[in-house]
Chains A and B, each alone.
Chain A
Amino acid sequence: MSINRSIRGALMPATFAVFAAMSASAAADTLTIGLSAEPTSADPHYHNLGPNNALAKHIFSALIEQDAQQLLAPGLAETWEPLDDTTWEIGLREGVSFSNGDPFTARDVVYTVCRIPTVPDAPSPFTLYTNAIAGMEIVDDHTIRITTDGPAPLLPNHLSTFTIISASASGAEDEVAFDAEGCSGLGDTPESQAFTDPDFAIGTGPYVLSSFVRGDRIVLERNPDYWGEEGAWEEIVLRPITNPGARVAALLAGDVDMIENPPTQDIERIESSGFKVSSGLSNRVIYIALDQGEAPTPGISGDANPLQDAKVREALAKAINREAIRDRIMLGYSEPAGELLPPPMFGTNADREAIPFDEAAARELLAEAGYEDGFQITLGTPNDRYINDGQIAQAVAQMWSRIGVQTDVDAKTFSAFISDRNGFAFSAFLAGWGAGTGEMSSPLGALVATRNPDAGLGGTNFARHSNSQMDDLLIEALQTVDEEAREALLQEASRVVMDSYGIIPIHYELTTWAMRDDLDYEARADQYTLAYEVVPAN
């Protein structure tokens, strides 16, 4: 039962006693979670953003699921096999039905892929993951053949990023097709706002939407017909509490059972108050990018750009005491990094340790490069985006200053930071990267591949790093459908970048959840809070 309805009941004295009895029994089966960010829409294809994607997974299901380590697992699809370099055959799960009773078939999958580009005003569309699809052939109700423009080894990863909606409930015609001429039979595709209506948000997920009150709460009820393992809770209430202090206070006061992202400095207090904290490595690396594009570079005086010298970059990398940052700033909730993605994720080198802290070596390297007196540099950073981002940058500035590189920190709110960064206003900046696909080509392709907008490479390479050896390895990997061969190529590409200090990783964020101590939640690398995976502790 929804809170909403129950309060209206409370206002009517006659029903009050009944209501009280009901709520007492319902309370035990309700899980309330304080979210750190509010989903901007209930439409699963509107905004490709963590909170939205996490909410979507409650109500809808994806063809392919990602487990806690982002390894692929069967979802609505049971099998996916490449037939050749550009054709994939997807075998769909049988006997699955939508929450309105309609059976789930291949038509819904084709409809979803076709609908994604039509979402009006989508601020971050999912077309990124569907662009490679050139056509979809419905072999039978539970088999689809997908053809792609060129080899697309990441297709299964991409299919795991979006969830499937019902073609019939969205107003599609009986025949939905995606062939050489494009999509047909879509009818009028729905607007995003429509999904706020529980009667419209029809999915195959473990829960169904009960109410969506913006700024206040999202209520979900268990889907009795879910195809997978039934969720532990009759009802789930998601409450956005964006202020970290207020979120912690809500947990301590018992207003909510669990919260996302408790601030690191409050974890001690949470634990000493009898709550449990679950944490795990995320797919997000915090890194420093150094401008290697031009000389002179902004923020460094003189005509030269010392950052083009690999020795200088190595010196700056080794001057950072990653353990100290972990212990003093992150209070233990980070892991010093030596690559852009933590092992054992796909494409990482398990033997690669975090870059060691070595102040003497750093000074020596600077001297070898001809900068024994150091130089001045400005380190740009957002101060409200990543966990303790502004503090990390200031600590790095301390450490660089100690080897003679006088560092100023230019900390800004994310929106201001990003417009400066995208205008190449920083010769050094701190930022973070979360690999949505959970494998190495994501950070390599975005952060260090030579900038090439047409090929979709180097989109976030605002340091203008360029290494043709790495580029070749990466591009070959992106054409290689064989898993083992691709992983070896990605590992090699990562080694090449790291050996030349093309980018300086600092640490991987640990994502944390705090909850009542009679609950359990396995930390997820993608940082999603999936309420249906929260279970009572044994």
Chain B
Amino acid sequence: MLVYFLRRLGQSLIAIIVMAILVFIGVYAIGNPVDILINPEATQREIDATMQRLGLDRPLWEQFFIYFGNLLQGDFGRSFVYGQPAMEIILQRLPATLELAFVALVIAIVFGIPLGVIAGLKPDTVLGKSIMGGSILGFSLPNFWQGLMLILIFAVLLGWLPAGGRGPTTEVLGIRVSFLTWEGLRHLILPAVNLALFKMALVIRLARAGTREVLLLDYVKFARAKGLSERRVITVHVLKNIMIPVVTVLGLELGSMIAFAVVTETVFSWPGMGKLLIDSINLLDRPVIVGYVMLTVFIFVFINLTVDLVYSGLDPRVRAGMRNE
């Protein structure tokens, strides 16, 4: 067990380091940030002085060692644009992204499971078929186009909800959140639904498959035969059984939601990390790009590692698999 854990940890560390090196070299080799940031009226003298101040006049390998030297001391460098520590800027944006991802996750579960169960219970009805048709659409519609259509319908044509931005925020335990005020919630609905739709399609499929499987099991057949109400059979037996795969998959998908938030945040001008990444790519704000990648890689490695460990604790088959490895 310990050996397995250490080996996984080692692999994760290698993953982080490899990603960091690749991204650093890639990002630092392109363009010249000073060209973009400096006032066009600046003379060559100012440009040279600025490059020197930002350390951009040094050869790539030297910049690389300086960066990683600082990194070992927990310093991710300063944003070229904001002059603040890059990690500080990214972490300022993290709550907005996490709030969006969590709310989207809740929407996906709250709507996805009942729909999936219905589709599983009544696979051959019009309702069941339309739910499954809807889930194919959910898979097929590119995320960003969904977002545009949501804006077109609910913001432009109907005028019910704002087209973008975050709206007012409330501070709770030092973190700014939107969902506590009505105005903030209104701003949150469209982007959260946009981010949720794809996962909702996934949940519907999982819940439907789970339901169908469970209904064929003996004890459920028995419960039905015993005359338990359909309602009770569903709530107790079916839900209990489909929750495990659904929750597991969604745990893994939370990470991919943070990544997909890049798209949603761009469409809805949601001031999260993803929007920051796109802005930083356009401004060649290298420390922020590398910092973002390091942070997301870290989050992913952490999620994967946790899921693996929890699994190995729970599932005897996985434990056996580890011995074979």
Contacts and interface: CB of A to CB of B under 8 A. Distances in A.
Contacts of A193: 83-84
A4 B269 CA distance: 21
A129 B266 CA distance: 37
A40 B312 CA distance: 47
B43 A459 contact: yes
A26 interface: no
A376 interface: no
A255 B35 contact: no
A159 interface: no
A214 B33 contact: no
B35 A192 contact: no
Given A7-B168, A128-B46, A456-B45, A121 B35 contact: no
B92 interface: yes
A362 B268 CA distance: 46
B65 interface: no
B171 A7 contact: yes
A418 B36 contact: yes
B212 interface: no
A528 to B, nearest CB: 14
A48 interface: yes
Interface residues of B, number: 56
A163 to B, nearest CB: 15
A245 B44 contact: no
A125 B46 contact: yes
B146 interface: no
B54 to A, nearest CB: 6
Contact of A243 (B46, B164, B167): B164
B44 A453 contact: yes
A122 B151 contact: no
Interface in B269-289: 269, 271, 276, 279, 282-284
Contact of A123 (B38, B84, B170, B180): B38
Contacts of B271: 215-216
B162 A255 contact: yes
Interface in A427-451: 433-434, 436-437, 442, 446
B36 A414 contact: yes
Interface stretch (A144-152, A221-229, A246-254, A312-320): A246-254
Interface string B276-305: 100100111000000000000000000000
A3 interface: yes
B24 interface: no
B256 interface: no
Nearest to A240: B271
A131 B165 CA distance: 41
A24 interface: no
B49 interface: yes
B63 interface: no
Contact of B83 (A7, A192, A442, A456): A192
B81 interface: yes
Contacts of A214: 82, 89, 92
B173 to A, nearest CB: 12
A261 to B, nearest CB: 14
Contacts of A125: 46, 49-50
Interface in A405-433: 413-416, 418-419, 422, 433
B93 A215 contact: yes
Interface residues of A, number: 59
A437 B42 CA distance: 12
Nearest to A39: B82
Contact of A8 (B42, B171, B276): B171
B83 A422 contact: no
Contacts of B317: none
Contacts of A46: 83
A114 interface: no
Given A215-B92, A416-B31, A418-B36, A453 B43 contact: yes
Nearest to B80: A123
A128 B39 contact: yes
Given A8-B171, A121-B78, A128 B36 contact: no
B50 A123 contact: yes
Nearest to B30: A419
A242 interface: yes
A459 B78 contact: no
Given A246-B268, A246-B269, A415-B282, A3 B168 contact: yes
B84 to A, nearest CB: 6
A239 B165 CA distance: 10
Q: Which 7 pairs between the two chains have the least Cβ-Cβ distance?
A: A246-B164, A249-B163, A453-B44, A123-B37, A456-B43, A243-B269, A215-B271
30 contacts: A3-B168, A10-B181, A11-B180, A48-B42, A49-B37, A121-B78, A122-B53, A123-B34, A123-B80, A124-B37, A124-B39, A128-B41, A128-B43, A214-B82, A241-B164, A245-B151, A246-B164, A246-B269, A249-B155, A249-B163, A250-B163, A415-B35, A415-B36, A418-B36, A419-B32, A419-B35, A433-B40, A436-B41, A446-B41, A459-B41
Interface of B: 30-46, 49-50, 53-54, 78, 80-84, 89, 92-93, 96, 151, 155-156, 159, 162-171, 176, 180-181, 268-269, 271, 276, 279, 282-284
Given A47-B37, A216-B166, A456-B45, 12 more contacts: A7-B168, A7-B170, A41-B83, A120-B53, A123-B80, A193-B84, A249-B155, A419-B31, A442-B41, A453-B45, A454-B44, A459-B41
